[in-house]
Structure 1
């Protein structure tokens, strides 16, 4: 066989197959069909070269091209470690970062409501009396509030807190199915509870104990729950205003991204649970316990900002690398 003539005759086919393989994520249906056809033809060329030529370099090039084309046609499995790295450095932080304004407004509203409720309860004895008797308030302020964090073994308490907070976050995200409308009500109830507890503690001049116990774990915990609420409401708004794209396509994309946030928050809330179980009730000085909570919060926010901003600049959305609703089909 004249190997030079063979290469000259078939090089355009090989170059075209190489091009299709490189751009496989954006192929049209016709191009996918062409990719399959060229893969079969070049496989035949490789067999001919191996049986009729001693040109090792040509055989090696065609072998590599056929292997890459086979992966493109059959769908090569992405290594688990690569999926995990992408999730940690792209998927989770970019979805959180893209929801940053929803997240910020939600957080400001939550803490404003908590502060208003707290001030109202602390300044009105009649409101306090409607909540509980003076003896019950004294019991809460002097013993129950602090005992809550130390009455159970730390390990089991951490697990209980983690499961509870993860479940609350998942519920908030699921409410996006209802356009996110129940989410503000859930946040209102939680903000009111925080405000009432703080107001009762303030009424007995125990705010130092309140913030000393709630701040170490509460910063990260509330940040995670508020992020879940923000992405849930953002997903609900997508149904109302999908922009210039098809509503079903945007909803599918945002839905997958939001579920990624739900998975990421499980890890964040696990850390918060550990702090609540092992740091909050510990004998460490209050300043040290609060410092640990502030550090955990700062690390988490820096992680979201740094990796999220970088992913946004790379045009990432947090969706799957090859989303099923945009995958090429014949």
Structure 2
């Protein structure tokens, strides 16, 4: 493409579009039709320039012009409570359901690695001895030791807020840095698997596995599932860099990235629930079976939320991305 010839051929149309956008009065019917036609042409011109001759000066001018025209043609729209309700009723559960194969297998692999580490430590006194001195191990695993006292180390409300912040940060790392081919996500998962396996293995070696599981399960089922979802979405985002499918890589990353940002909001709410359970239920004086029952009930409720309304919304075409009218224009161009 000869950039100078292209600009000379279409400058008059761009100037006329700029003129129509700059008018302070209402447009006539003919002028409104003309603005729409010029907006569509300018969007096509922008796509052609971006794919064939990405001159920064011309591209920036056209990008601004098309954005202004789009806001006039389509109209700006502010987010409302209806958008939030739609997101939690359809968008978020659909996004979780759509990525289920990624996070279910992530959870399976995490569980296997954790079980291998825990089993190894539970059956290998030599391995346990390399972790810490005998006195330190007894302090961690004894009744009232650090593993138990951790959950009551702060007031329930403050502890819930602390746990929520930490877990939301882990989920955000998985979602945000998944684009780096998923490598940071794998690292985060590995570190968490080691920590959980270490706790289970040490408490099992001390003959107090039932106590540890009674503390871990009430909040851990929902908390770990939320981390698995975040990790699965992050890994999917990393795979999109490698294989965008039928979409262009830029379009695929934009769509999956926007959905990931939305999922960060949804998972923050899920982790808030697990944080409340960890702060108020896990250290409570309720019987172990009651605490576990509450944790299982909350976890099952989340799974039903994903696999019932989430499946229904996903089959209806919901992806968790922005509404179609809020997305940028994509004009097909033959190159």
TM-score bracket for the superposition, by shorter chain length: 0.7 to 0.9
Residue of 320, 327, 333 corresponding to 1:324: 327
Match of 2:304 in 1: 302
Q: Equivalences for 1:277-316 in 2 at 5 Å? A: 277-316=279-318
8 Å contact kept, 2:119–2:201: yes
- SS at 1:309 equivalent: helix
Match of 1:192 in 2: 194
Match of 1:207 in 2: 209
Match of 1:164 in 2: 166
Match of 1:81 in 2: 81
2 CA distance for matches of 1:146 and 1:212? 10
Residue of 242, 250, 253 corresponding to 2:252: 250
8 Å contact kept, 2:179–2:241: no
Tell me how far 1:85 sits from its aligned partner: 1.2
Tell me how far 1:325 sits from its aligned partner: 3.1
1:53-106 deviation line (CA, Å, top 9, x unaligned): xxxxxxxxxxxxxxxxxx983525355111101110222111111110011110
Structure with the greater alpha carbon radius of gyration = 1
Tell me how far 1:177 sits from its aligned partner: 2.4
2 CA distance for matches of 1:119 and 1:90? 40
Unpaired runs of 5+ in structure 1?
1-35, 45-70
Unpaired runs of 5+ in structure 2?
1-20, 22-26, 33-70
2 CA distance for matches of 1:199 and 1:74? 59
1 CA distance for matches of 2:249 and 2:328? 12
Match of 1:56 in 2: none
Match of 1:262 in 2: 264
Distance change >3 Å, CA 325–CA 76, structure 1 → 2: closer
> RMSD of the TM alignment (CA)?
2.3
1:255-308 deviation line (CA, Å, top 9, x unaligned): 000111111111111111110010000000000000000001000111011122
Q: Equivalences for 1:149-160 in 2 at 5 Å? A: 149-160=151-162
8 Å contact kept, 1:221–1:272: yes
8 Å contact kept, 2:91–2:321: yes
Distance change >3 Å, CA 128–CA 79, structure 1 → 2: closer
Indicate yes or no: 2:132 matched with 1:129: no
Tell me how far 1:235 sits from its aligned partner: 0.7
**Count, aligned residues:** 268
Match of 1:109 in 2: 109
- SS at 2:77 equivalent: coil
Tell me how far 1:168 sits from its aligned partner: 0.8
2 CA distance for matches of 1:138 and 1:75? 66
Distance change >3 Å, CA 232–CA 256, structure 1 → 2: same
Q: Which runs of 4+ in 1 moved over 4 A?
A: none
Match of 1:182 in 2: 184
2 CA distance for matches of 1:325 and 1:232? 23
8 Å contact kept, 1:249–1:325: no
Distance change >3 Å, CA 253–CA 323, structure 1 → 2: farther
Match of 1:26 in 2: none
8 Å contact kept, 2:175–2:264: yes
Tell me how far 1:41 sits from its aligned partner: 2.3
Distance change >3 Å, CA 307–CA 42, structure 1 → 2: farther
**TM-score under structure 1 normalisation?**
0.77
Tell me how far 1:182 sits from its aligned partner: 2.1
- SS at 1:149 equivalent: helix
Distance change >3 Å, CA 234–CA 265, structure 1 → 2: same
Tell me how far 1:246 sits from its aligned partner: 1.1
